[in-house]
Structure 1
């Protein structure tokens, strides 16, 4: 569950490091060392800051050294060559971060070496602009004894990293520094030769000329070599500058990080510096050297110098590689690969969420671990096995297994019943033990099997089959390992099955609460998207709806319940139901929100929700909206312009005090209304105003390319239906949420295109406040329906108009107005100046009146009442395809005409 707050409020959560990214660092693997470790850290930092590239500098050994660039990523050589050596006391970001052991951000005015890119294509702007916005952010690589180096990222942004980004960079710096500190021993493949001391006695003479001595002033960085040092390292004595940096400059780049870390550790702790590493000589050759050095303290007990020896051990390494038997190499390699697969399998199963994840993890790591070629995982449900995942088996074989009852004595069900693994080494052994199912062997194509029960928390949950193409004798080690791994798979499978079950229920809940499909209405075309807050929970409190009203009017609503999860989804369902109920009462937006605010307030003090409710009238292209704490809709006119209605929102539902403000606007035919929740435009690192600006740019860019392609801004033929709006939703989601994984808030998007009702489909007449009005109404209806070629609806519509006008004359007051609308239904409206609501009466057999609305209800497909600014309007609807005379009760037409006929 994310932080609970009222959506839409300008309340900023404290930025925090992403738990998912923390877990990713925690499982990145101990196998990352040296350059790979540092390059991985750069990639994570650059991705988090959306930077141009990054660098890692390590401190030169001792107190007088500066910083040295050891690895970079994403930056051109013309740029990084200026950052090869840095003064440790200088003003640049890496130096300051190293000195202060803290995050530093420094604007960069010098972009020499950075390649120019087209700014219109989203690249870097011109140099003058970039000089203002480009900056370098740096954090120290920290270990328990202090900084060992710095990690820097070049960003093209005028804004400083958010608190959450800074927290992640600090975590990344400590993580890399601690890993680098643990890498002070050579990585695998760089093991010590076994000559742990310099040659002595008889062994000294042959190698005497290859041993060098050195004396290094830790405070100044000056180093004194004897002649053998130049020979071993291949450095020209005439060009040697007597600096420690020149020595570290010949160390192999892959070994440099842990060698520098070991030297620094030796100085800090006073222990012996003793290691082997590779050197890259200036002549292009590579060799191995063995180095030993001892720290010398000054009169204050502080490290002042380090002196020691160095000798060439290249021949020793070559000799060792020759004398090691190939079998030993193969055994060590196989053991290392097996250990790696087990670590990776354990990690993959721990991270597996769904049953499909468990199957993939088992197939990717168990099969290569044993050289197997087939794997199947199955649950036992009733009297049948249900395979839930497989690899290396034909689909026909899996279908045959699923059709066989468990009572047939399959080995996969037997091990589940007996809870004991079974290993079958050949086809002959299988046929001898299970002759009734021998026919399966041909379709399976395997010749050896390991049948493993999956036992979780003391109870069987399923079975696992690991199979081989050739006959195989299982060693005791393999049997024990397969049995142990089956326990890990069982635990992961049980968790995954529970997750899948809850995941399915959550999806069903969400599908039941949100509209399965939006209605196809004459006044609007619509499309929508819902994105949950994270992959582990696909339900939330965001909702949307499109509700048909009378006279082709449409109510469009979107809302957001605070938080995300099942309880919020349930609250959302209650609110959506309430909105539809209140919408049927034809309440104006501000009154509807007032009733909804009372409902949310009754839920408790911890419940808040935002809501945007608008009503679109296609007869006059008007739109009235009210919103409670919700972002305003984006309105896109046919000319492609995008704007947001200017109005401050009221407080969220549950915290608001009615009345709610309303906004009225006219929408040209073909306009777009884009409604959304704050999860689409706001995050911990993105202000809602910036998000709305991004939405506006995305709409302008997308629509200019496809929706209004003609110069006169008329709609392109392919942009008039729901298919284009579906594509527009996908484009907006991909643009605004390009890497949405495990986000902190739900997001909903509703795109609606408006269609005005043509003037030819509307007719309206004023009527006198007199009994003759009924006859005039019938005449208007008869004439208009004949013009519209709807003569088959004339009789029923005349009856409806007569009854409605008669009710006004008897029970209400003028002015009276009659209106007919033709769309997918025929609407007949009679409005008057009274706000008295008509109701159906239960007339007795002897009553002479009271049956008029019963007749209206029997004839009309739908009918109702809505209040207007001057009174009320009673409306009826009839499908255009029905044969209306058949709907009349026998004799009703004659009685009603006689009753309301002209005097």
Structure 2
């Protein structure tokens, strides 16, 4: 933290739950103010997750750069600050992420020296964790983060105390972690507590009424932005109705907090009480920020991490839903953002189709329990059906309340609360959403309002996703029809092709391969990649594949084939470009003429196993320059050799140079058995096929010369 000029720092580590990072340690700021960020899913669009996924540092010098790249982060922390994220890795082992927060430097990037210091710190941490693992330690984090305290705050010089004691205004001095140091006499009198009772304690432990979630954003702003912050706060219910003005004056070494009496503001935060099945919900709903009193008469706020998260989670959910493309992605976002916001543990989403509700997503329910409700008709009396048909959300504080309202309904073993939300988009029914909780609980009026509003956002996202899914099905069908279903069988040559769609977004791209018998005894090997994804990319791919086949069948040279295809793409002007590699092989002699347009270099495995990356001359990608030229390279394929043509999806990984991926592929081809060729193709593509998160599609074409003239 000090080396990088920060005022706070922390470390995220892997947890026993796959895909979940947990904050392990944190220092420099009050830990409880950052409860919403204690847990971090690695697939979410946050800088911590991005650094972990990519293996590359994420450096955000100011709020503008953070907003442009990670709007969800700024939705929860809308303050001017800088943040640095360095992955903690050792070889292929990813332990977590080192985080440093510091003052913003608008328009000035993070300097090289700071980046190097941060990198060295992460490397040292990775080395220590590697050594720990080698000694049998389990390098995973479970539970809440650990605070790393700064030195205990000092009471200050006697002269400063006397000066502060002359003030009628209550003054407290806090360190950067929120612990109370100095307390003047006016503060002791106003709070009814003496200095020893306050000094050395966290502010929110000593004065729990300041720990209400409604005030957390004010404290975050004061501690992170460095600017003064002013807000009114209600001091629980002791004495009744007392409001205080709270002023924060932050500096690099701490924060000065002043308190003064104040009239009730025109606007006061509404209640966020958690009502149990026996609570007086009407009375509680009318109270302003109702809290319980402990035995000393001071407010005892039972504020959970989930409740603190609820302050920003709805905004984060709304932003995340705009990025979700498929229905599955929408459901995953709801699981990761909505459930933690309200302390839920179960989620089910049903979608409407032909007047029946079908289970589209579930998590947390006993296995198989929801199967009996899959495909239910809209005339069945079930809460999940009636919430959609009436358009009215339904809240049950316990399973007993649910059973009383719907006698005979099958219940799982859980006794917790349930919320049934209608999913209606622009007046059209989409489905219903069920939230389940482990224990009985009430739903405050504002929670009901927020949940209902979020249900509308979820419905809009699902409606959009279903249209998108339909387009995906169309694109997949189009792509399947355009890719070759079988490759020609020729003497002296074996060919094998493989294709894998991407798993992000449309999951359909413009990669293609082909093998064309030219009619002159020669065999054309083709591979290409159209920029982009979706129906447009697949359609452009089909046009290019047809053009290449037409040129090849006409007896054109490789240079003529690629140049003609380039001109065709420019004439079509689809707003896309494409890369391509075209090889004309004589199976009998093994001679090859190759032309390349911005495509990755092929690999050649020699009969003795030695494998090299070819160095074919080439031109720019197709569709850019009508005057582009595409020189031809000649080579010979000896008996037992294998040519490997591939698209960049096979060798590109986020955060890694493409040369690293090419070398990995070369090594794999060198180590593979030369036959059968289909087994070699499966081996080369298997690693990519087992990756759940592929941003690009993959095409692979292998050609092996099995005989012919020496």
For the aligned pair, the TM-score class normalised by the smaller chain equals 0.5 to 0.7
Please point out which of 656, 676, 690 is paired with 1:720: 676
Q: 1:375 aligns with which of 335, 338, 347?
A: 347
Distance 1:256 1:450 in 2: 31
Alpha-carbon distance between aligned partners in 1 of 2:439 and 2:115, rounded to the nearest angstrom: 64
Which position in structure 2 is the counterpart of 1:400? 372
Aligned residue for 2:672? 707
Equivalent residue runs for 1:654-803 within 5 Å = 655-656=625-626, 661-677=631-647, 691=658, 694=660, 697-704=663-670, 706-707=671-672, 715=674, 719-730=675-686, 748-757=698-707
Q: From 455, 461, 469, give the equivalent of 1:500.
A: 469
More helix, by proportion: 1
Asked if structure 2 preserves the Cα contact closer than 8 Å seen for 1:447 and 1:471, the reply is: yes
Contact kept? 1:609, 1:654, Cα under 8 Å? no
Distance 2:364 2:389 in 1: 25
Deviation of 1:113 (Å): 10
**Higher gyration radius (CA):** 1
In the superposition, the TM-score normalised over structure 2's length comes to 0.57
Aligned with 1:619: secondary structure? coil
CA contact (8 A) 1:620 1:756 kept: no
Aligned-pair CA distance for 1:375: 3.2
Q: Secondary structure of the residue that 1:441 maps to in structure 2?
A: coil
Shift of 1:557: 0.6
Distance apart, 1:619 and its partner CA:
1.9
Structure 2 residue 308 is the aligned partner of structure 1 residue 336: yes
Provide the TM-score with structure 1 as the length reference: 0.46
Contact 1:509-1:539 within 8 A present in 2 as well: no
The alpha-carbon distance between structure 1 residues 669 and 290, as it changes in their structure 2 partners (threshold 3 A), is same
Cα contact 1:353–1:496 (8 A) shared by 2: yes
Shift of 1:455: 2.0
| 2:386 counterpart (392, 403, 414) | 414
Render the CA deviation track for 1:19-42: whole Å, top value 9, x for unaligned: 9975553322577799xx87x523
| Maintained 8 Å contact 1:42/1:55 | yes
After TM superposition, list the pairs within 5 Å mapping 1:159-198 onto structure 2: 190=178
- The Cα of 1:701 is off from its aligned counterpart by 3.1
Task: Work out the CA distance in 2 between the residues paired with 1:656 and 1:445.
Answer: 68
Call closer, same or farther: CA 1:369–1:42 in 2, change over 3 Å. closer
Task: Give how far 1:720 is off.
Answer: 3.4
More divergent stretch after superposition (645-654 vs 500-509): 645-654
Question: How many Å separate the matches in 1 of 2:662 and 2:373?
Answer: 56
Change (3 A) 1:415 1:46: same
Equivalent residues of 2:75, 2:315 under 8 A apart: no
Question: Is residue 621 of structure 1 aligned with residue 590 of structure 2?
Answer: yes
Aligned to 1:535: 504
Go from structure 1 to structure 2 and tell me whether the alpha carbon gap of 1:494 and 1:193 turns closer, same or farther (over 3 Å shift). farther
For residue 488 of structure 1, the aligned residue among 457, 473, 479 is 457
Which residue of the partner structure matches residue 272 of structure 2? none
The 1-side partners of 2:252 and 2:607 are apart by: 69
Distance in 1 between residues matched to 2:227 and 2:386, nearest whole Å: 61
Residue 236 of structure 1 corresponds to: none
Shift in CA distance, 325/99, structure 1 to aligned 2, threshold 3 Å: closer
Q: CA shift at 1:331, angstroms? A: 5.3
Aligned length: 533
Instruction: Find the aligned partners of 1:256 and 1:387 in 2 and give their Cα distance.
Output: 41
In 2, distance between residues paired with 1:452 and 1:601?
A: 51
Q: Deviations over 1:356-403 (max 9, x none)?
A: 233334445555666655432212211321121123434544332234
Counterparts in 2 of 1:619 and 1:496: CA distance versus 1, 3 Å: same
**Out of 51, 72, 85, which is 1:27 matched to?**
72
Q: SS of the residue aligned with 1:614?
A: strand
1:595–1:407: structure 2 CA closer, same or farther, 3 Å change rule? same
Gaps of 5+ in 1: 1-15, 60-96, 118-184, 211-230, 233-254, 266-272, 280-287, 293-320, 709-714, 763-903
TM-align CA RMSD: 6.2
